[in-house]
């Protein structure tokens, strides 16, 4: 079962910043410069955390927030083209 996650980061070196951003682009959609929306399972969220942590230095930071269905349904945006679909997809292609 997957759910929505907000992923935010603060990376102090430009080279590491680009690497972290590229990694996150493979997992979700960029909402702002250092904020991503990702639809992940618990296992893939742990994998994401592990992969990004390997790219970061001790002075960098990462925040991953799990959103429940009710919280995701209450999100309001301005300037964001895509909405936040709350329901699970009807099928999954493996």
pLDDT in tens, 33-86: 999 999 999 999 999 999 999 999 999 999 999 998 888 777 777 776 566 666
Q: What is the pLDDT of residue 78?
A: 74
Residue 59 lies in a domain: yes
Return the CATH number at 41. 3.30.70.240
- Whole-Å CA distances, 87 to 24, 30, 53, 55: 23, 20, 30, 32
Residue 49 lies in a domain: yes
Range of the domain at 45: 2-68
Q: How far is Cα 78 from Cα 81, in angstroms, rounded to an integer?
A: 8
Residue 78 lies in a domain: no
- For residue 94, what is the DSSP state? -
Residue 60 lies in a domain: yes
Polymer length in residues for the chain = 94
Residue 48 lies in a domain: yes
Quote the tokens at residue 73.
């349904």
Q: How far is Cα 28 from Cα 14, in angstroms, rounded to an integer?
A: 21
Residue 90 lies in a domain: no
What is the count of structural domains for the chain? Answer: 1
């Amino acid at each position: 079962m997957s759910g929505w996650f907000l992923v935010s980061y603060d990376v102090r070196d430009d080279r590491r910043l680009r690497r972290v951003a590229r990694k996150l682009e493979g997992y979700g959609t960029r909402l702002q410069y250092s904020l991503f929306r990702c639809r992940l399972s618990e296992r893939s969220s742990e994998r994401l955390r592990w992969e990004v942590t390997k790219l970061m230095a001790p002075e960098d930071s990462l925040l991953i927030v799990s959103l429940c269905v009710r919280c995701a349904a209450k999100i309001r945006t301005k300037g964001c083209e895509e909405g936040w679909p709350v329901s699970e997809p009807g099928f999954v292609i493996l």
